[in-house]
Structure 1
Amino acid sequence: MKKLIQITSGRGPAECNFVVTNVFRKFSEACKKEAIDIEVIEREIDADFNQITNILLEIEGEHLNTFLSAWIGTILWIGKSPYRKFHQRKNWFIGCFEVEIPKQNNMLANEIVYQSMRSSGNGGQNVNKVNSAVRATHKPTGISVVSMDSRSQHQNKKIATTRLLLKLQEAENEKLKDLANEKWNNQTSIERGNPVKTFRGEKFL
Structure 2
Amino acid sequence: MDKLIIQISSGRGPVECARVVAKVKEKIVAHAKAAHIALDTIEEVKGDLKGTFLSVTLLAFGHGVRDVFQEWEGTIQWIAESPYRKFHKRKNWFVGVSLFDPGAAQKWNPKDVVFETCRSGGPGGQNVNKVETAVRGIHQPSGISVTVTDTRSQLQNKQLCLQRLEEKFHAVQAARLAEQQQSQWQEHNELERGDAVKVLKGNLL
Superposed pair shares fold, TM > 0.5: yes
- Report what 1:159 is aligned to: 164
User: Aligned ranges for residues 126-137 of structure 1 at < 5 Å?
Assistant: 135-137=136-138
Deviating more after overlay: 80-89 vs 48-57: 48-57
**Larger radius of gyration between Structure 1 and Structure 2:** 2
Distance of 2:115 and 2:65 partners within structure 1: 30
Distance of 1:70 and 1:169 partners within structure 2: 19
- Report what 1:174 is aligned to: none
C-alpha contact 1:137 1:164 (8 A) present in aligned 2: no
1:104 corresponds, among 104, 107, 115, to 107
- Report what 2:60 is aligned to: 59
Distance 1:48 1:138, change over 3 A: same
Report the residue type matching 2:9 in the other structure. T
Distance of 1:185 and 1:147 partners within structure 2: 37
Distance 1:54 1:116, change over 3 A: farther
Distance of 2:95 and 2:172 partners within structure 1: 25
For residue 86 of structure 1, report the CA deviation from its aligned partner: 1.3
2:186 paired with 1:188: yes
Distance of 1:40 and 1:88 partners within structure 2: 34
Distance of 2:101 and 2:88 partners within structure 1: 37
TM-score (norm 1): 0.71
Distance 1:138 1:182, change over 3 A: same
**How many residue pairs end up in the alignment?**
181
Distance 1:141 1:8, change over 3 A: closer
TM-score (norm 2): 0.71
- Report what 1:179 is aligned to: 177
Distance of 2:148 and 2:31 partners within structure 1: 26
Question: Which whole-Å deviations, capped at 9, do the CAs of 1:115-164 have from their partners, x for residues lacking one?
Answer: 6898xxxxxxxxxxxxxx9753234664324689xxx9646632322323
Report the aligned-residue RMSD: 3.5
Q: What runs of 5+ residues in structure 1 fail to find an aligned partner? A: 119-132, 171-177
Distance 1:85 1:33, change over 3 A: same
Higher helix proportion (structure 1 or 2): 2
